[in-house]
A and B are shown apart, each in its own frame.
Chain A
C-alpha cells in the first residue's frame, strides 16, 4: 500500500452531521485490515470486500470513501458494520457533485467505540484465466497435468495481502461495471463521449497521499514466505464453482500472477485417431482422450476454460512441443478430448473402385424425348489405412452419406452415428497397412424416398 492505494475511507470527524460546503476537514484514516477479491472470469467483474476498523461516536458520523483513478462502480459501494449491527445504520449516501469518485456515508451510531466494518464494491479491470500444461511420457500412455490460474490486475489499485477467490461460472449483468465506473459527466460539460479513467494515471488525490503515509506501517510483505505453492481450495456454490487461493496474495496493478491450481501425475489417457473429413479436414487427426474424473486422478473440481499446452517427453531428457489448444469448461466427470493435430505417419485413403447405375425412371412427357429423372447408383469404395508408426493405433472413421443410402461394410462395430453418418473403429498394428471395401446404394432423383443412411443387413 505504499504506492498506489486509492480506494480509501476517511472518517470525517465533524460535529455537524450533514454534508455541506467546507474547505477545512479533520479526518482519520483507517487502514484496511483485510481484503478479499472475488473475481468472475465470465464478466469484467470483481467483488472487493475489505474490512477496516472505525471508531464511532454516538450520533451521526460522516464517512468519506474515495477511489480516484480506479475502475470501481460507485453504485455498488456498500457499507456494513461487522459488530453492533443493530446500533449502527447508514442514513444516507451522498455523491458530491464537485468531487467525482467520492461518496459520503452519513452513519448513525448508538454505540461509541471501535467497530470493524466491511466495505464492498464491484470493480472492473481484474480478471483471471486458467491454463494447463500437459506433459506425456515417451510412450504416450500417461501424462503429468498441471493446472494454473493467472490473476491479471489492471484495476488501477494494488491489492496486497488479499484473499483471492476465483469464480467459475457465468453471471448476468445488465450494465457493464467498466461503464458504471466512469465518473458522471458534469451537467455543464460538453457532450463528449465519456472515456475511461486511465488505469495508471499519475494524478492522485491529496487524501490518498495522506493515507499512504499512514498506511505504510501496515504493509504486508510481498514475499509472504510460502514454503509451498498455495493450495487452491475448490468449492461448489449454486451454479458456480469458487476457487479460493490459500493464504494472502499480492497482485499489484499492471501485474499478472500465475499460481498452480492443481497437479495430477501418472494420468492415464488413450490415443485415438479420427477421420472426419467434414469436421477435421482430409487427414486423420490424433486425439488424447481422458476425463476429469477419479480414475484419471482428477475430478475434484471442474476445469475452467483455458489454453492447454501439450508437450511430450522426448526420451532425451527434454520435451517436444505438440500443440496449444483452447479448451472449453470441463465439468467433473466430463471427458476431455484433446486434438493434437494431424499425424503425417498415419495415412487414410478412400477411392471409388467401381460404380454403376440402374433402375432408371423417366419423365415420359418431356419433349422432344423422355429424360432420366430417377435412378439408383451403386458404389464400391476401397479404404486403405497405413500406419507408419512403430506402435499400434486405433482409428475411428465417420462417413457422411447424404441422401437415401444403404451402406454396407465388412468391419466389426459398424453403426450409425446419426441419420446420415456411418461410423466404425479399427485397430491397426504397428507398421501395417489394411484395405477394406465398402458398398453404397444410392437412390437418386425421383428414386430418392428417404433422407437417411440404412446399414445393409439391418
Chain B
C-alpha cells in the first residue's frame, strides 16, 4: 500500500478535537483512519466505473465530520454517495462540503449514539476500465468449439484496491487483487462443445477480386455460434482454468476480440491459429458471427447471360437480366454456399447508376430453383446453393485427376419501371 503517494482515504475527524473552522489550506485534524473492509468494482457500465467500498467508522454521539480525500485519482466528486448501513435511522448526513482547491469532501454526520458504524461509499472513478476478449478453439471437425471469455481490467486509476470484488456485468463477481497500474485478465466463463456452423459466403460487391479473373471474387467464411443453451441454468463463473464448463445462453456475450484456433487431427491435438475477429454484443438466443477469412477452395464465377431492355413509354423501361453463378468445391466436404446480392447495386450495373429510387424487381422463370432464393428484404437476396464434395481419387488410378463438378445457378430477374 503506497499510501504516502496515492492517498485515497477516509478520515474521521471528531468534532470535539478538530479545529474545524480553519481555512481549507490549514485544516488541522486529529483523525482516525478507518480502513476499507470491502471493495467492489462495478464495471458493468462500459462508460463509467463505479467503486463501492465499505468502512467502519467510529462515530461520536452528536456531530461528526468525515473527511474523504483523494489524490492522483480521477474521482467524480459529484457522484460520491455516503450511506450508513443497517443504522440508517440513527446516523444522518447533515450536509457535505467541498473545500476549495482540494480533492476532498467533508460529510457532517449526526449520530444518535456513539459507536462503530459500517458505511458504504460509492463513486465513479476514471481510468479503471475493462474490456472483453475470447479464445475460441474449434475441434478438428469444425462442428463444435470451446469458447473462453476473458475480462481484462486495466487499473490506471491511481489507486490500489487490494482484494476487491470485480463485477463486469456478466457471470458473477470475482475476488481479485487489484494492484496499482495493473492489468488483470480474468477467465469469466468457459463454454465447451459449443455447436458452430461454418458458412461460406459469396458477395460480388464486397468480395475481394481474384487476380486475373475479372468474373470471380473470393468466397469468405464465417463461424456462426448461437448464444443459447440450457434454459434457466445459472451462469457459473469459471474462476479457475479447467473448472466445469458453463453453458451458453445464460448471459449476453459482450463485445470483444475473438481469437480463433482450430485443433489438428493429431493426438494429442495441436492448435493452429485461424484468425481473429471482433465479436459483436450477442444477446441471449442471438447469433455471433466470426469472420474467418477467405475460402480458396471454393471458386465462383459470375457472368451475365442476358441483359435486355424493354421500353414502356418515354424514358420508362424494364430490364431483364440473367446472372449465372458457376461454382466448384475443391474441398473434401460438401458445403452450402450463400450468394449475397444487393438488388440496388445489381440494378445499377445494368440500368445505370445515380438513381433516386430503389430497385423494383421480380424473380422470373429461368431461375434455377426459386426455393433457394431467400428474399431477406427488397434489397437483399441470399441464394443458398449446395455444393458437393470434391470427388475422391480412385485408389486404382491414383494419378487420374478428378475435378469437382461445376454447379450452375441462374438468377433470372426483371427490374421493373426504371428510368
The answer to whether B263 has its CB under 8 Å from any CB of chain A is no
Expressed in whole angstroms, the minimum distance between the Cβ of B4 and any Cβ of chain A is 27
For residue B350, CB closer than 8 A to chain A, the reply is no
Candidate in B44, B284, B378 with the most chain A CB atoms within 10 angstroms: B378
Q: With an 8 A cutoff between CB atoms, is A408 at the interface?
A: no
B65 proximal to A (CB < 8 A) = yes
Chain B 27-44: CB-based contact to A (< 8 A → 1; otherwise 0): 000000000000010101
Task: Please give me the residue from chain A that is nearest to B92 by CB atom.
Answer: A228
Q: Give chain B residues whose Cβ lies under 8 Å from the Cβ of A356.
A: 360, 416-417
B156 at interface by CB-CB < 8 Å: no
CB nearest to A258 among chain B residues: B96
With an 8 A cutoff between CB atoms, is A319 at the interface?
A: yes
Interface 1/0 per residue, B150-172 and A, CB below 8 Å: 00000000000000000100000
Do A321 and B283 have beta carbons less than 8 Å apart? no
User: Is B62 part of the binding interface, using a Cβ–Cβ cutoff of 8 Å?
Assistant: yes
A320 to B124, CA, bound (A): 11
Instruction: Give the residues in chain A near B379, CB-CB below 8 Å.
Output: 351-352
A257 and B95 contact, CB distance less than 8 A? yes
Beta-carbon contact of B378 and A354 below 8 Å: yes
In the complex, chain A residues 346-379 whose Cβ is within 8 Å of any chain B Cβ: 347, 351-358, 360, 362, 364, 366, 369-372, 375, 377, 379
Cβ–Cβ < 8 Å partners of B24 in chain A: 252, 254-255
The yes or no answer to A345 lying at the interface (CB within 8 A) is yes
Q: Would you call B314 and A230 a contact (CB within 8 A)?
A: no
Binds B, one of A34-42, A88-96, A219-227: A219-227
Check A307 for interface membership: any CB of B closer than 8 A: yes
Q: Is there an interface contact between B284 and A388, defined as CB atoms closer than 8 Å? A: yes
Please state if B20 and A351 are interface contacts (CB–CB under 8 Å): no
| CB pair B313 A3 closer than 8 Å | no
**Are A226 and B416 in contact, CB atoms less than 8 angstroms apart?**
no
Instruction: Select which of A227, A319, A321, A364 is within 8 A of B110 by beta carbon.
Output: A227
Which residues on A sit within 8 Å (CB–CB) of B62? 225, 227
Chain A interface size band reads 35 or more
User: A307 CA to B124 CA in the complex, in Å?
Assistant: 15
Q: Is the CB of B98 within 8 A of A318?
A: no
Chain A min CB distance to B175 (Å): 13
> Residues of A contacting B100 with CB < 8 Å?
200, 253-255
Q: Is the pair A319, B95 in contact by a Cβ cutoff of 8 Å?
A: no
Q: Does A131 contact B (CB under 8 A)?
A: yes
**From B285, B315, B376, B380, contact of A371 by CB (8 A):** B315
Interface positions, chain B 164-192, Cβ under 8 Å from A, are 167, 173
* Contact digits for A131-144, partner B, Cβ 8 Å, 1 yes 0 no: 10100000000000
> Which of B45-53, B213-221, B320-328 touches A?
B45-53
When the two chains form their complex, are residues B314 and A370 in contact, meaning their CB atoms are under 8 A apart?
yes
A130 to B159, CA, bound (A): 30
B281 at the binding interface (Cβ < 8 Å): yes
B101 near A: Cβ within 8 Å?
Answer: yes
| Chain B count of residues within 8 A CB distance of the other chain | 57
- Note all chain B residues with C-beta closer than 8 A to A386: 283, 286
Q: How many residue pairs bridge A and B at CB < 8 Å?
A: 159
Q: Cβ of A226 and Cβ of B78 under 8 Å apart?
A: no
Q: Taking A228-B94, A362-B314 as contacts, is the C-beta distance between A388 and B358 under 8 angstroms?
A: no
Instruction: Name A148's closest neighbour in chain B (CB-CB).
Output: B96
A78 at the interface (CB under 8 A from B): no
For A22, the chain B residues whose CB sits under 8 A away are none
- Pick the most buried of B108, B252, B286: most chain A CB atoms within 10 A of its CB: B108
A386 to B62, CA, bound (A): 55
Q: Which residues 171-226 of A sit at the B interface, judged by CB distance below 8 A?
A: 200, 219, 221-223, 225-226
Please indicate the chain A residues that have their CB under 8 angstroms from the CB of B63 in the complex: 223, 225-226
How far apart are the CA atoms of A324 and B123 in the complex, in Å?
13
- Among residues of A, the one whose C-beta sits closest to the C-beta of B76 is A324
A254, A257, A354: the one contacting B101 at CB < 8 Å is A254
A202 to chain B, nearest CB (A): 12
Give which listed residue, A229, A344, A360, contacts B283 with CB less than 8 A: A344
- A353-B377, A357-B360, A360-B316 known; A258+B42 contact, CB < 8 A: no
Check if A53 is an interface residue, CB within 8 A of chain B. no
13 further A-B contacts with Cβ under 8 Å, apart from A255-B98, A257-B96, A258-B98, are A223-B20, A227-B112, A252-B23, A319-B52, A321-B45, A324-B48, A344-B252, A344-B283, A351-B380, A355-B360, A358-B417, A362-B316, A369-B314
Q: List 30 A-B contacts (CB under 8 A).
A: A2-B21, A3-B23, A225-B62, A225-B63, A229-B93, A230-B94, A254-B100, A255-B24, A255-B100, A258-B95, A258-B98, A309-B79, A319-B52, A324-B48, A344-B252, A345-B252, A345-B284, A355-B378, A356-B416, A357-B357, A362-B313, A362-B314, A370-B313, A370-B315, A377-B357, A382-B377, A386-B283, A386-B286, A388-B252, A388-B284
Counting from the closest, the 3 A-B pairs by CB-CB distance are: A254-B100, A370-B314, A388-B283
A interface with B by C-beta (< 8 Å): 2-4, 131, 133, 200, 219, 221-223, 225-230, 249, 252-260, 307, 309, 311, 314, 316, 318-322, 324, 344-345, 347, 351-358, 360, 362, 364, 366, 369-372, 375, 377, 379, 382, 386, 388, 431
